Amino acid sequence: MTMAFKGGPIVGAMPHDETAEWTTAPLAEDTGESPLALGAAPWPGQVLRTAAGDSVYVRRTDGPVGGPQSWYIHGLGASSTNWTPLAGLLRAESTGMSVDLPGNGRSDPPPRGDYSVRHHVDLLAALITERADAPVHLVGNSYGGFLAVLLAARIPDRIRSLTLISPAVPDLRLRGERGADPRLAILLAPGTIRAAEPRLAAISVEDRVAGIAQLCFGNPDLVTPEDLIAAVGDLGWRRDLPWAQTAMLEELRGLMHGYLRPGKASWWARAAAITVPTLVIWGTRDRLVDVRLARRTAEVFPDSRLLVLKGVGHAAHMEDPVSTGRAVRALWADS
């Protein structure tokens, strides 16, 4: 996962546009509605607390009265604002609940600094169990997709459907050609988080936003100057929070530990036990998680469909929310 700034080279998985032929997912009819811009004002939110006392910030996109809820989980270093376009397109079918994971977005850091995968899954399970009156649609991107699978396996009776957008599936072949940087393994060693924080903090907000656009989008030119300005403003205030760098690095280390869980506790074993309708979405130009993992990922779920979008990168919900939304609506209709 090597970022590039100020037009520098991008190291990551190679494009594989031919994998678009793997698509099996049907698309719902195009409503003709235009998605909100990436830099549009995000949906309003509030702090929600669990019975155990944990709290996170959750943005709400109001849908039909009495309709189901959809819960959106963002990726590493991201926030609930990433879901603004997609949640808007899907509000006719569902009330969207976009979570800022602990220490991300507008959420405070977790108690005792626990950024582990287990803590995040426990928190999300409590929120859904306590706040939703009926089973929910679950949508996750990247690290959020990794969490969504473990969450669906944890509370299967509370999940109506599962959508994974470029999920950070376990892949220990740490080579740049596959989108993974071998230096990530260093994070498993004690003390490396503190050493990495100053280097991450030294990157300017503008450079970081530009690097994210280059890294996560198959076509970075889709990000307009107005979108960049909005992203710089959103990231700028978070950058100076004392836990901002810690949150992303600790979550990354937790993800690496999650990759190492063996046997029945592994991510793949948990995924194979999920029986709800599942949609896997990937971009053929995903530089972070190799699209060649898409077919294997979809096939592990007993009831699944796959959408591979040609020319799209790691964040299809932001780069192509219309196609993403049509596939999600078709899944929800069948659920």
Residue-wise pLDDT tens digits, 105-140: 999 999 889 999 999 999 999 999 999 999 999 999
Please tell me the distance from the alpha carbon of residue 179 to that of residue 2, in angstroms, as a whole number: 8
pLDDT of 189 > 50? The answer is no
pLDDT of 185 > 90? The answer is no
Q: Quick one: pLDDT band at residue 239, thresholds 50, 70, 90? A: confident
Check residue 194 and give its pLDDT.
55
pLDDT of 315 > 70? The answer is yes
Please tell me the distance from the alpha carbon of residue 295 to that of residue 308, in angstroms, as a whole number: 9
Cβ-Cβ contacts under 8 Å for 131 (sequence gap 6 or more) = 48, 69, 97
Domain spans, the chain: 17-334
DSSP string, 47-110: EEE-TTS-EEEEEEE---TT--EEEEE--TT--GGGGHHHHHHTTTT-EEEEEE-TTSTTPPPP
pLDDT of 188 > 70? The answer is no
Q: Which value, in Å, is the radius of gyration of the alpha carbons in the chain?
A: 18
Question: Do 317 and 85 touch, CB atoms closer than 8 A?
Answer: yes
Check residue 237 and give its pLDDT.
79
Domain 17-334 CATH superfamily: Alpha/Beta hydrolase fold, catalytic domain (3.40.50.1820)
- Hey, is 34 helix, strand or coil? coil
Check residue 183 and give its pLDDT.
46
Check residue 197 and give its pLDDT.
55
Please tell me the distance from the alpha carbon of residue 122 to that of residue 169, in angstroms, as a whole number: 20
Percentage with pLDDT > 90 across the chain: 72
Average pLDDT over residues 236-250: 84
Please tell me the distance from the alpha carbon of residue 212 to that of residue 190, in angstroms, as a whole number: 27
* Token digits of residue 59: 């943005």
Average pLDDT over residues 203-232: 88
The arrangement of strands across the sheet holding 304-309 comes to: 45-49, 55-61, 95-100, 69-73, 136-141, 159-165, 278-283, 304-309
pLDDT of 208 > 60? The answer is yes
- Residue 53: Cβ within 10 Å count: 7
Please tell me the distance from the alpha carbon of residue 322 to that of residue 99, in angstroms, as a whole number: 21
Q: Is the dihedral of CA 38, 43, 45, 51 positive or negative?
A: negative
Check residue 238 and give its pLDDT.
80
Average pLDDT over residues 77-90: 96
Please tell me the distance from the alpha carbon of residue 327 to that of residue 333, in angstroms, as a whole number: 10
The rounded mean pLDDT for the chain is: 89
- As beta bridge partners, residue 45 has 59
Lowest-pLDDT range of 46-60, 143-157, 169-183: 169-183
Q: Could you give the C-alpha distances from 294 to 13, 30, 260, 289, in angstroms and in order?
A: 13, 24, 20, 9
Instruction: Tell me the pairing of strands 55-61 and 95-100.
Output: antiparallel
Check residue 187 and give its pLDDT.
41
Q: Quick one: pLDDT band at residue 99, thresholds 50, 70, 90? A: very high
Check residue 4 and give its pLDDT.
36
Check residue 319 and give its pLDDT.
97
Cβ-Cβ contacts under 8 Å for 334 (sequence gap 6 or more) = 277
Q: Could you give the C-alpha distances from 298 to 21, 23, 177, in angstroms and in order?
A: 14, 10, 22
More confident residue, 253 or 300: 300
Please tell me the distance from the alpha carbon of residue 272 to that of residue 297, in angstroms, as a whole number: 10
Average pLDDT over residues 170-182: 58
Residue type, 141: N
Strands, E assignment, the chain:
45-49, 55-61, 69-73, 95-100, 136-141, 159-165, 278-283, 304-309
Question: Do 18 and 314 touch, CB atoms closer than 8 A?
Answer: no
pLDDT of 248 > 80? The answer is yes
